[in-house]
Amino acid sequence: MAYRPSVPFNVPMKLLIPQWTTVNGARKKTYPTPEQTSDDLMFFGSFRTFGGTEVVSNNVYTLENTATIETWFRPDITADCRVILLQTGEIYELLGTPENIEMRNQFLNFKVKKVGGKA
């Protein structure tokens, strides 16, 4: 039986694809602003946070703002991209490589972590 998503793809998002430049001989990755990206990079998916991820680093307990996204397959969604939620303006970076579910080029599943934050 083929995989079917359990929740609808009703959260609008936009893909931020990095641009690479060379500065003093070193490659530097920069991301465009959401206004600089075209509308064809917009997509819909499910966005679930499950309350984030608990992390202990240097004996300090913190909670990282992470989420899981499921969406239709897009070959331009790669591990170095970022995603912006259009409803809130929050920017998330992909953690790891997106999973092409059942290798059917139909659905993608990936985990993201919020960029920025305050201590």
Per-residue pLDDT of 75-95, as tens digits, reads 999 999 999 999 999 999 999
Answer for the pair 85, 13: CB distance below 8 angstroms, yes or no: yes
11-23 per-position pLDDT tens digit: 999 999 999 889 8
pLDDT over 90, % of the chain: 60
At residue 35 the predicted structure's pLDDT band, cuts being 50, 70 and 90, is confident
Beta bridge partners of 75: none
Average pLDDT value for the chain: 90
